[in-house]
């Protein structure tokens, strides 16, 4: 893959924690998120609006963990 962006920065504001990459062959945007050391989310889209939509859907359906107790 090429054009690695460590975070969405200006590409997808509001979606922190995702590594956004563009690959040339086949042409696609790839978003990678590692919420825990044993979980991995990979989303692929042909354009940034589609990728933004997929990330929003993944974040909306992600399980919500209660705050840890002290």
Indicate the average pLDDT of the chain: 78
Which of the two residues, 11 and 40, has the higher pLDDT score? 40
Beta strands 28-36 and 18-23, pairing class: antiparallel
User: For the whole prediction, is pTM greater than 0.85?
Assistant: no
Residue 57 host element (H or E) = helix 48-61
pLDDT for the residue 62: 73
* 3 backbone φψ class: left, alpha, beta (φ>0; ψ -120 to 50): left
């Amino acid at each position: 893959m090429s054009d690695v962006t460590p975070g969405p920065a200006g590409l997808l504001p509001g979606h922190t924690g995702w590594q956004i990459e563009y690959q040339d062959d086949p042409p696609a945007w790839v978003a990678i998120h590692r919420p825990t050391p044993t979980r991995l989310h990979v989303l692929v889209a042909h354009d940034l609006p589609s990728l933004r939509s997929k990330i929003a859907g993944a974040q909306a359906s992600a399980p919500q963990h209660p705050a840890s107790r002290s």
